[in-house]
DNA sequence: CGGGGTTATTCTCATCTTGAGTTATTCTTA
DNA sequence: TAAGAATAACTCAAGATGAGAATAACCCCG
């Protein structure tokens, strides 16, 4: 047996097969009314030409969370205040021995949420980056185990909408209840009852707070001006905003 | 910039500072009516004499989840069917550059749940292992960032009791509603209304199924024989069994 | 400029779920 | 044998949810 102490006490790392640690980022945004994920096209083998999650090596003195933000920033060209507004959280780690054909690579995946980001090619050094609607994922082959990572990220996102104010991270500073409802409908993938949603959002303490203002105009197809809100100070929603029960996933 | 492809294409791992990947296991059980966590006492520096989570090096060809089970089995002496009944899940990864003074070590933490396990010293190769009541954690200094890892694990456990049948993993094959209630009370750290809990457990589809049998005797201090149940086939609880709202944690 | 279609917001109402307390019954212990 | 304790079932009020409808503001088209 090799336990941690023995390993660390007598271990010469260079005598063992090398391992590497990377971060991969599942960056989600809502564009054109669709939930989209950021992908980059691989230039070199393996999986050359395939699409993959943005990510890379964690630098020797770099914290993991910092590495995730850095990789995201490099691919999107985002910086400053807009970057600070992006929500990051650790998703999970992936380390199946053969997940990369070249060597043992552990990947720590992060999830990033941001409102309506611009096309990534603009400011980034990788013109081969794009947002892909998650509904188009089934028809696209991804490199490595990145499909699994994206699926885990999507499930996490759907689930966190239920009991955290995460949805407010997908909209701008000020938003209407309908904006928020669109986020829920887009991420969960099905329509919600507008009246009940409205009542619920206003009744959960700390989810939103009114600004007193309304939109300048009604909606593009009519309707009155909507009141504007900004995110409240809640960190957890109580009671939660639950997805309609999905019998299939329960058993 | 070094992105993943460039890094992996032209990278000679031995030219970089070495990194290592370990697993650490937050193993929880209920013994003597208390939630307890498995700790081992470190023999070698750094942190010699301190208590730490069981864990160790992920072997070159070993899957992370397998490594977690192996480390747990080595410290508890558990194997075969009892080991298979233990629930494992990935918790999170920790990789702050200075979390280990010797080298860059990334730790992937796992959470393990099991019913009333025996004293670990018995079958293990490390006689310096013990179960510690989590209520005693504040008075004990832990090695590395293991206190943070344990706290994250406890929060995950408390939260998973709400919406998964995890509690059934802390009791034996057959159990009474009162056994289950004791699990919730112990993990959440406060008493529940017996009648409401009973109603709720029986009303959530797939949480428990009756065996038709009852206990041999009443409780040690009186009371009728209780009906016996076994775990149902639900993977998610709908509606969830929520903790009483904790105002403090909401904001 | 007026009407039809659209949307934000508020209500109603039946149904579920929850929290708190009570009761009948069965056991154990003294 | 009586007292105390625990299981299981019931009551009742308060809260939350799902479905539908009403009201009013606003856009676009003709």
Q: What is the pLDDT of residues B158-195, one digit of tens each?
A: 999 999 999 999 999 999 999 999 999 999 999 999 99
B contact residues 83-142, partner A, Cβ 8 Å cutoff = 90, 92-93, 95-97, 100, 102-106, 108, 125-126
- Do the Cβ atoms of A93 and B71 come within 8 Å? no
**Dist. CA A112–CA B135, nearest whole Å:** 35
Indicate left, alpha or beta for B223 from its phi (over 0: left) and psi (-120 to 50: alpha): left
**Dist. CA A48–CA A101, nearest whole Å:** 13
pLDDT digit string, tens, across residues B222-250: 899 999 999 999 999 999 999 987 765 55
Closest residue to C18 (CA, C1′): B196
State how far residue A220 is from chain B, nearest Cα, in angstroms: 36
Highest mean pLDDT among A204-208, A241-245, B221-225: A204-208
Q: For residue B91, which phi and psi values (nearest 5 degrees)? A: -100, -70
**Dist. CA A177–CA A194, nearest whole Å:** 9
Question: Band of the pLDDT at B122, cuts 50, 70, 90?
Answer: very low
Strand C: residues with CB below 7 A: A 176-178, 194-196, 198-199, 202, 214, 218-219, 221-227; B 193, 195-196, 199-200, 203, 214, 217-225, 239-242, 244
Q: For residue B37, which phi and psi values (nearest 5 degrees)? A: -120, 145
Q: SS3 string of A85-99?
A: CCEEEEEEEECCCCC
Q: Which of B2, B4, B23 to mutate to test the interface with A (most CBs of A within 10 A)?
A: B4
Nearest CB among A103, A238, A250 relative to B234 is that of A250
State how far residue B219 is from chain A, nearest Cα, in angstroms: 33
pLDDT of residue B54: 96
**Nearest nucleotide, C1' to the C-alpha of A176?**
C8
State how far residue A194 is from chain B, nearest Cα, in angstroms: 22
């Amino acid at each position: 047996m090799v336990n941690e102490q023995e390993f660390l006490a007598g271990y010469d790392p260079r005598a063992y097969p090398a391992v590497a640690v990377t971060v991969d980022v599942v960056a989600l945004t809502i564009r054109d009314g669709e939930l989209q994920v950021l992908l980059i096209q691989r230039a070199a083998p393996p999986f050359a030409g395939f699409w993959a999650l943005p990510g890379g090596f964690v630098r020797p003195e770099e914290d993991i969370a910092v590495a995730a933000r850095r990789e995201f920033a490099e691919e999107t060209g985002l910086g400053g205040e807009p970057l600070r507004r992006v929500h990051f959280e650790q998703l999970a780690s992936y380390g199946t021995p053969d997940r990369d054909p070249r060597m043992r690579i552990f990947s720590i995946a992060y999830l990033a949420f941001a409102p309506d980001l611009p096309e990534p090619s603009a400011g980034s050094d990788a013109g081969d980056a794009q947002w892909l609607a998650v509904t188009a994922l089934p028809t696209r082959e991804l490199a490595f185990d990145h499909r699994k990572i994206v699926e885990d990220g999507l499930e996490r996102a759907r689930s966190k909408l239920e009991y955290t104010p995460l949805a407010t991270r997908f909209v701008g500073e000020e938003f209407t209840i309908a904006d928020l409802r669109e986020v829920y409908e887009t991420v969960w993938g099905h329509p919600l009852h507008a009246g009940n949603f409205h009542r619920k959002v206003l009744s959960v303490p700390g989810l939103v707070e009114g600004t007193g203002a309304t939109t300048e105009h009604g909606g593009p197809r009519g309707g009155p001006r909507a009141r504007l809100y900004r995110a409240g100070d809640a960190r957890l929603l109580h009671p939660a905003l639950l997805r309609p029960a999905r019998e299939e996933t329960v058993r």
